[in-house]
Chain A
């Protein structure tokens, strides 16, 4: 009996110490990881889709409250006016969450472009959503009033071969981003008024 109790106690204490210290570590590293992802993954992706912008969209970013969620918004300046916003969104992919950035032109509500940033999809299949520029290019300049979908589901995006689930995830992620954008549009317009002189 005594041995039994000892086993339970030792395992419990170990797990508590381990869980506690990892929780502390997560709090400590989270802002640093976010920074790294911003500089090395999201930053280049955003600069890529807003290549023609006259400012640095990663510099000109702000946070905005959407209900009780805080969202990062990146602003692009075209033709001397801040008229493009980049919204981040995530969707459930084949393996894990697929993160993406979606640039929307506020003047006419069209997509300026999108790019997949973080994912754990299968290399060569689902990972092509990030690696194949032709897939992402399908979203460029499309109107946002119709929801996006893959052609199998009656949409306008041809899915990556062998990666329908990832393609669907990307479409639903873009749709989510558009939803967030529509919800926040009045606030966004207010925020970017002074920018892009």
Chain B
């Protein structure tokens, strides 16, 4: 039963969206989502790594010997992570300062290795591309949503940009009398808000 390319792409966006449906990759989910900007930046960095590693793993799947496949996947993933780290330093330095140690940690993100092992090493290039892009964008919107909720509660407004291309600035959405709840942008707030979002996601059927 061959599933369509469109299915491989859209499953990551809704049915299998990693942090909410599969509860995977929680380290960056909790660590960097202090604002919408950081969430999207981290999501896009991960998407790039996921997409490139999926394509390369899929291309090399006949060449890579089964016994050393994990080592090969890690080399491929680590290479792309360093590419992201260097490019981000060269072109988006303030974002790099915000994300800091979480960029190198994409290497050990279970989603990236998981897709390489479970999907790209068994499927063709086009399907792996669709899969990587879908899962990556799903991860991005999940991080963006969590970041937006935390930033809104924690500061009362949304402000930022993505690589200087798209800007947004929503001041004081709750009115001037709103008292920002700093708890939301601290680590415990991340757990609480993630829990509430997971609950909300579970109320909506995945099919």
Contacts and interface: CB of A to CB of B under 8 A. Distances in A.
A10 B64 contact: yes
B27 interface: no
B82 interface: yes
A14 B57 CA distance: 11
Interface string B51-86: 000000000000111011001100110110011001
B118 interface: no
A32 B91 CA distance: 8
Contacts of A7: 65, 67-68
B76 A14 contact: yes
A161 to B, nearest CB: 23
A33 B75 contact: no
B65 A37 contact: no
B160 interface: no
Contact of B72 (A11, A29, A32): A11
Nearest to A123: B100
Contacts of B97: 40
A36 interface: yes
Nearest to A118: B97
A156 to B, nearest CB: 32
Interface string A1-24: 001001100110011001001100
B89 interface: yes
B93 interface: yes
Contact of B68 (A10, A21, A22, A26): A10
A69 interface: no
A29 B71 CA distance: 27
A21 to B, nearest CB: 7
Nearest to B94: A40
A19 B65 CA distance: 20
Q: How large is the interface on B (under 10, 10 to 19, 20 to 34, 35 or more residues)?
A: 20 to 34
27 contacts: A3-B65, A6-B65, A7-B65, A7-B67, A7-B68, A10-B63, A10-B64, A10-B72, A14-B72, A14-B76, A18-B78, A18-B79, A21-B79, A22-B79, A22-B82, A25-B82, A25-B86, A26-B86, A29-B87, A33-B86, A33-B93, A36-B89, A36-B90, A37-B93, A40-B93, A40-B97, A41-B93
B83 A22 contact: yes
Contact of A10 (B65, B78, B89, B93): B65
Contacts of B72: 10-11, 14
A145 B176 CA distance: 55
Interface residues of A, number: 19
Contacts of A3: 65, 67
Nearest to B83: A25
B185 to A, nearest CB: 15
Contacts of A29: 86-87, 89-90
A11 B75 CA distance: 9
A18 B76 contact: yes
A7 B65 CA distance: 6
B9 to A, nearest CB: 28
- Name which of B67, B76, B79 has the most chain A CB atoms within 10 A of its CB: B79
Nearest to B93: A36
Contacts of A37: 93
Contacts of A21: 79
Contacts of A25: 82-83, 86
A10 B70 CA distance: 12
A33 B92 CA distance: 10
B193 to A, nearest CB: 22
